[in-house]
A and B are shown apart, each in its own frame.
Chain A
Amino acid sequence: AQRVTQPEKLLSVFKGAPVELKCNYSYSGSPELFWYVQYSRQRLQLLLRHISRESIKGFTADLNKGETSFHLKKPFAQEEDSAMYYCALSNNAGNMLTFGGGTRLMVKP
């Protein structure tokens, strides 16, 4: 069975500090991974997907198959990055997602 683990429920950093939100997965196939974000009073929305290898709002995530991880990183956190972040893993058919428990990021001024 596929599983996504986000070990930190809450991560608190100061503005300008680097931030890393951890995501580990277990999956027998070739994984496709995503990060979704939910800002206060807004809908859950896609932040980035590993297959695109893109940087969105300064965030990047690298898939490490050896460590089965897909950590989300940003070199300099901003207050507007404060949100709930979910890591998600797609099934083989590419039509269903398994989400992690989420990490709340708080960026303090």
Chain B
Amino acid sequence: DVKVTQSSRYLVKRTGEKVFLECVQDMDHENMFWYRQDPGLGLRLIYFSYDVKMKEKGDIPEGYSVSREKKERFSLILESASTNQTSMYLCASSSTGWNYEQYFGPGTRLTVT
């Protein structure tokens, strides 16, 4: 059974703080993703990683960076949090290959005050 875990379910940070969101998967998946989920906007891809130390920008990378030092772990970093980054953040992973299913974590609800 695929397990994708995220470090926090709820997080409250102040404007300007540096924020780390961590995601770990235990299925040896090559691909990992960070999305933000907002009502009416659905899921929007922030960053995607297809291998250790490899990353690609998604649709909304501004204000975010990522780190993938180990295959199982993918971190999302908000260098200087802003109120418009208040959102639900979802991590996902998938096996490499064509159109494999993405498995999602439980989400981190981040509030920036």
Contacts and interface: CB of A to CB of B under 8 A. Distances in A.
Interface of A: 4, 6, 9, 32, 43-46, 49, 51, 86, 90, 93-102
A77 B107 CA distance: 28
A94 B99 contact: yes
Contacts of A43: 4, 104-107
A94 B42 CA distance: 20
Interface of B: 4, 31, 33, 35, 39-45, 48, 50, 58-59, 90, 92, 94, 96-107
B16 to A, nearest CB: 30
- The dominant DSSP class at the A interface is loop
A90 B98 CA distance: 9
A43 B50 CA distance: 22
B40 A9 contact: yes
A4 B42 CA distance: 10
Nearest to B58: A96
